[in-house]
Chain A
């Protein structure tokens, strides 16, 4: 059974860079799936950030594209999120999720990690 686990700093300074990693266990990141990041500001709804295929192809939300990079490390069976020039508006719980290649269902999800942008 595939499980995902996010990790990274819980506090980032304004104008700094947010970096998170999602470790995949119980399955291969080179399977026929996309791997996605989704965030949720406190008390608000869900926003899709972007995704990556193990071959390196990516899709990004246009609202974040200029600041986002998603990469994959097949040797470590993990993928990562980098978000530059962060502001308080980027404070959120960040989730990683597996996306089925065919029907595009998001399952499973990681437990999520709260990242706060504050000085």
Chain B
């Protein structure tokens, strides 16, 4: 199985901050990397797919980058509604696997 490791389990930030969440795969996953936002009691919501493609309807302050085994999700200027848990996921090969999640909290 491909292991996905997010650098932080939690992150504190303020409204207006620029935030970067990183994710590392145990091998190259050729940009088959998705990012999801999950709020309490809700299903995950796709934010970025194929490493850098913005899902329709997602604000432009979200962006993704990376290649090989290393990927990042950046929020350019945090809004109150962005405080949530973010998961990376590799869809390069089955079993598809997720990172452990990064909880973005208000400082």
Interface footprint category on A: 20 to 34
Say yes or no: is A76 at the interface (Cβ < 8 Å to chain B).
Answer: no
Say yes or no: is A59 at the interface (Cβ < 8 Å to chain B).
Answer: yes
How far is A43 from B7 in the complex, measured between Cα atoms in Å?
19
Which residues does chain A contribute within 8 Å of B91, judged by CB atoms?
99, 103-106
- The dominant DSSP class at the A interface is strand
How far is A82 from B6 in the complex, measured between Cα atoms in Å?
31
Contact across chains for A46 and B44 when beta carbons are under 8 A apart: yes
Binds B, one of A9-17, A24-32, A83-91, A107-115: A107-115
Closest chain-B Cβ to A18's Cβ sits at a distance in Å of 19
With A105-B49, A107-B55 in contact, is A61–B95 under 8 Å at CB? Answer: yes
Interface set of A (CB-CB < 8 Å, partner B): 36, 45-48, 51, 59-63, 95, 99-100, 103-112
Which residues does chain B contribute within 8 Å of A112, judged by CB atoms?
43
Contact across chains for B95 and A48 when beta carbons are under 8 A apart: yes
Among the listed B32, B42, B49, B100, which residue makes an inter-chain contact with A45, where contact means beta carbons less than 8 Å apart?
B100
How far is A48 from B38 in the complex, measured between Cα atoms in Å?
16
Q: List 6 A-B contacts (CB under 8 A).
A: A103-B91, A104-B92, A105-B55, A106-B34, A106-B91, A109-B44
Which residues does chain B contribute within 8 Å of A106, judged by CB atoms?
34, 36, 44, 46, 89, 91
Contact across chains for A45 and B46 when beta carbons are under 8 A apart: no
Say yes or no: is B25 at the interface (Cβ < 8 Å to chain A).
Answer: no
Which residues does chain B contribute within 8 Å of A99, judged by CB atoms?
91
Contact across chains for B87 and A45 when beta carbons are under 8 A apart: yes
